[in-house]
Structure 1
C-alpha cells in the first residue's frame, strides 16, 4: 500500500485569490507561497458554484450542483444547489466522494473542521475519523470547559475575535489533524486527511485584527460600481446592504478608509490560515513525510470584499467570488514552481487527486485529471461552467460560462451579463445589451445548453424551486439602493 502517496487537503472558507502574496496579494503569506514554490499553482481556477455548500459537494464528488443521474448502471446524485441556512441540506449518502474511494482503496481517512454538508455529528462518506463542530458549538464548549470566559452580550460569531490564535477553532482542528497524522504515519496504509478551516469567512474578525496598517492597503479598481445595466438582484441582498451601511453609496475617502479597515481584518484571518498551513508543512517535514505526501491548498469560493460595492457572496459571478486559489505540491513527483495559466475548474479537483493516488475515477464523476496540465501543458478546458441557484434568500438561477476571452452570465429572470475579460478584467462594463453582442451571446448560450445536457440536464422543477419565505427575484423586481 505504501506505493501510494499520502494526501493532505487544506481548504479554507470564502477566500479571495487576491489575498495570497503568490497570487499578487498585499499580505505576506510565506507558508502558502512556499507550497507554491514547491509545486503547481493554478492561476485561473474556478469553483462550480460561488456558495459554500454546493461548491463543497462538487469538490468532493466531481459532480455539478444540479446533477441527478439515474440509469441501469449508474445511480448517483449530488443535487445540492442551495446553502443550509436553516434547512436540512445534506449530501446524499449515495453520492460517491473522494473520501469513500480513498477508504475503499485502503487509505486511512480523517476529516477535521468544517464539513457543511449535513449530518455534522456523524462520520460519513468514507472518513473513519470525523471531527467537526456545529456552528457556534466550539465557542460554547470552550466556555463550558472554562478555557475561555467570554463577556456577556456577544454572539458566537463575535466571540471569534476574543480567542487567541492558540484557542481558535481552526488552530485546534489543525492540531487534531497533525496528531492523527503522527498516530498513523507508521502504518502500512497511506493516509488521506482533510483540514477544513472556517476562515477567512465573515464577520472578518479574529486575533490579528491589528496586524496590518490599513492605511497602506490598496483597494481594487472596481470598488465603486454604479451597477447600471447590470442585474437588478445585485442592488439587493445582504452583501449590498452591508456595503451601503458600512461604506456608503458615494465615492469618497472616508468610505474607502472604512473599507481598508475591514479589508485589513479580512487579511488578518488569512494570516491565521497561513500560520496553520505552515504548522502542517513543518510537521510533515519533521516527520520525514514530505516526499511521500501530496499537499493541496484551496478554498470553496471567494469574497467580494467591497468590489462592485458588495460584500460576502450573493447572486453574482464576479471573479472575486468565483476564482479561488489552487496549489498542489508533491516533493520530487510534481514540478516545482510550475504555473498553469489556462482555465481550470474545481470539478477536476477530485479526479486529479484520484489519478495521483492510482484510484480509478468512477463513471459518476464529471471532471478530468489536471495532471496533464503540468506534465504535457495540454489545455483540457476551453470553457468552464459555474451555476448558482440561491444566495441569502434571493433566488437566481444563474448559469455562467467563462472562456479565455469572455464571461457570460445567463440570469434566469434578470438582466444578463457579458464581459470582455481581456479588455475589462475588472468586469465594469456589461456588454450584454449591446446589439453587436447578440451573436456572441447566442453561441455562449448554446455552449451552456450543451453542458447542461451532457451533465444530466436540469429539470424545470429545479429552475423554479423555492423554499418557505423565499421568493424568486422575478416575483418582485423593485429596485433597491
Structure 2
C-alpha cells in the first residue's frame, strides 16, 4: 500500500529537481492552478446553489471568489466535457470522435496533435499532475495522461470504477499509480486527495508553479463486480458490458452513511453521503494549501463535468429544478455548478451571471500565464474571460452544443433547442415555455448562427 505512494513522491522529487534549474524568470510569481472536476454533480446539489446537502468547503471557493450561475460545459456527458476542458475546443473538433462517453473497449482516444492545458503549461515551467479520472482513451497502454503533458498520473482511465475495490465491474482492476497498474486500499475519493496532498508536500518547498488537476469520480455511480459487492453499496442497475457482468452502484464510507441515516430514500441518502465525502476532501485540500502558504497565489476552479441524474437511476441527483438531466441538452444536462477563487487577484463574494463555458478556461489561463501566442485562434473555441473575473464585465457571446441528434445554441439570454424551440433563460431558466411562435425572426437568426458554427466545426 505504501510503495506506490513512495514511487509517486520520488517521481515528483525528480521532476522538481529538474524544473528548479529553469531560469528564475520562468518560475517567479506564476500562479499555481488547481482544477477540481466533479463527476455528474447536479446544479442543485451544493448548498451554495440552494441544495440540501451541506457543502461548506466547496462553497468556500465561491465565498472567497466567484460563484457562477450560468456556467456551462460543452457536452452533457463525461468524455467530451473533459476534452473541452483540457483543449479549449468543442468536442466536435476531436480527431477521434470524442463526442460521447467512452467505454473501456472503445478505440477512440485523445490524439497527440491535440494540445492540452498541461502541455502548454509545461512550456512555462509547470509541474503537472492528474489524480483521478482520465476518460479520454483507455484501451491501449499508451492512452494515458502522461502522453499528454501530465508528469504524474494516479487514478483510473475509464468512466467509472468501484469506489472500494477499484475495478470496472467484472472486467477487473483499473487503478494506476504514477502511470503504472497498482493495487491500493481505500475509498477512491479519499485516495485521490491523499495523492494530491503528497504531491503538494513535494512542490511546496520550491518556487516551481504547478497544475493540479483533480477529476474526482464522485459522485458518479461506481462500476461494481456483482460477485464482489462491499457494504454500503446501493445497486442502481445490473447489466452486462460486452458479456461482462457489471453493477452501476452508489457507494459511500460507513461514517457518511451513518451521518445521513435520517434520509429515507436509500439512493438519495447514499448520493448525499458521496457528495459530503467529496466536500470534506475539498476541505482537506484547501486546508493543505493554506497551511503551506500556497492558497494566496493559487487559482482554484471547482466545476461539475455535466448535469446529474435527476430523473434516471431513481433520480438520486438534483439539478435544482432545471429541465432535463445528464445526456440531454436541456439546462439540466449542461448548466453546472462552478466556483473560482484566486485570493491575490479575485475579489471575494462575487456572483457572475454571464454565460461562461468550460472551453473558456484554457484561453483565459493562456492570457494569465503567458502562452497566448501559442494558441491557434481558429482552433480554440473558448473566450478569454479575464475581464469578467477581474473587472466584473458582462459577456455577450454564443455557446453551441451538439450531442447525438440534439442541438442547442445559447446567445446571451436566449436559447434555441433543436433549431425550433426558443426559451428566454433570464425569465424562464427551467425552459417551461417555448416562445418560438412569438419570435420567428429571432428563431431564424439563431438557427443561422447555429448552422454557421456547426459548419465551422466540421471543417478540417
Which TM-score applies when normalising by structure 1? 0.71
Structure 2 Cα separation of the partners of residues 291 and 430 of structure 1: 46
Please point out which of 76, 80, 84 is paired with 1:50.
Answer: 76
Contact 1:300 1:324 in 2 (8 A): yes
Give the deviation of 1:382 after TM superposition: 3.2
* Secondary structure of the structure 2 residue equivalent to 1:176: helix
- Where in structure 2 are the equivalents of 1:47-196 lying within 5 Å? 47-67=73-93, 77=95, 79-85=97-103, 86-119=105-138, 120-121=143-144, 123-135=146-158, 142=165, 167-196=186-215
Structure 2 Cα separation of the partners of residues 408 and 104 of structure 1: 40
Work out whether 1:205 is the aligned partner of 2:251. Answer: yes
Structure 2 Cα separation of the partners of residues 107 and 94 of structure 1: 20
* Secondary structure of the structure 2 residue equivalent to 1:102: helix
Contact 2:396 2:412 in 1 (8 A): no
> Which string of whole-angstrom CA distances, capped at 9 and with x for unpartnered residues, describes residues 231-270 of structure 1?
xxxxxxxxxxxxxxxxxxxxxxxxxx8xx54333322211
* Secondary structure of the structure 2 residue equivalent to 1:351: helix
Contact 1:56 1:300 in 2 (8 A): yes
> Which string of whole-angstrom CA distances, capped at 9 and with x for unpartnered residues, describes residues 106-162 of structure 1?
101111110100145561211111112245997599599xxxxxxxx99989xxxxx
| Consecutive unaligned residues in structure 2, runs of 5 or more | 1-26, 174-184, 222-248, 318-324
Contact 1:199 1:273 in 2 (8 A): yes
Please point out which of 274, 281, 297 is paired with 2:302.
Answer: 297
Q: 1:74 aligns to what?
A: none
Give the deviation of 1:309 after TM superposition: 9.1
- Where in structure 2 are the equivalents of 1:419-438 lying within 5 Å? 419-431=423-435, 435-438=437-440
Work out whether 1:11 is the aligned partner of 2:37. Answer: yes
Structure 1 Cα separation of the partners of residues 313 and 416 of structure 2: 17
Structure 1 Cα separation of the partners of residues 36 and 96 of structure 2: 22
Contact 1:101 1:359 in 2 (8 A): yes
Q: 1:137 to 1:114 in 2, by over 3 A?
A: closer
Give the deviation of 1:45 after TM superposition: 0.3
Structure 1 Cα separation of the partners of residues 125 and 172 of structure 2: 39
Work out whether 1:440 is the aligned partner of 2:442. Answer: yes
Contact 2:422 2:434 in 1 (8 A): yes
Contact 2:129 2:151 in 1 (8 A): yes
Give the paired residue count.
Answer: 378
Give the deviation of 1:41 after TM superposition: 1.7
Work out whether 1:341 is the aligned partner of 2:367. Answer: no
Q: 1:121 to 1:29 in 2, by over 3 A?
A: same
Q: 2:232 aligns to what?
A: none
Q: 1:261 to 1:138 in 2, by over 3 A?
A: closer
Structure 2 Cα separation of the partners of residues 140 and 383 of structure 1: 38
Contact 1:338 1:374 in 2 (8 A): no
Q: 1:444 to 1:139 in 2, by over 3 A?
A: closer
Q: 1:381 aligns to what?
A: 396
Give the deviation of 1:310 after TM superposition: 6.8
Q: 1:192 to 1:315 in 2, by over 3 A?
A: closer
> Which string of whole-angstrom CA distances, capped at 9 and with x for unpartnered residues, describes residues 315-336 of structure 1?
5212222111221111121111
- Where in structure 2 are the equivalents of 1:275-286 lying within 5 Å? 275-286=280-291
Q: 1:185 to 1:35 in 2, by over 3 A?
A: same
Work out whether 1:367 is the aligned partner of 2:399. Answer: no
Q: 1:142 to 1:450 in 2, by over 3 A?
A: closer
* Secondary structure of the structure 1 residue equivalent to 2:113: coil
Contact 1:57 1:78 in 2 (8 A): no
Q: 1:27 aligns to what?
A: 53
Which TM-score applies when normalising by structure 2? 0.74
Structure 1 Cα separation of the partners of residues 273 and 328 of structure 2: 25
* Secondary structure of the structure 2 residue equivalent to 1:204: strand
Give the deviation of 1:296 after TM superposition: 1.3
Does 17-26 or 79-88 show the bigger shift?
79-88
Q: 1:325 aligns to what?
A: 337
Q: Considering only aligned residues, what root-mean-square deviation do their CA atoms show, in Å? A: 3.1
* Secondary structure of the structure 1 residue equivalent to 2:37: strand
Please point out which of 418, 422, 432 is paired with 1:418.
Answer: 422
Q: 1:456 aligns to what?
A: 457
* Secondary structure of the structure 2 residue equivalent to 1:290: coil
| Consecutive unaligned residues in structure 1, runs of 5 or more | 69-76, 145-152, 158-165, 216-256, 390-395, 460-481
Structure 1 Cα separation of the partners of residues 345 and 287 of structure 2: 19
Structure 2 Cα separation of the partners of residues 376 and 317 of structure 1: 31
Q: 2:275 aligns to what?
A: 270
Contact 1:263 1:305 in 2 (8 A): no
Give the deviation of 1:410 after TM superposition: 1.4
Does 90-99 or 184-193 show the bigger shift?
184-193
Give the deviation of 1:407 after TM superposition: 2.2
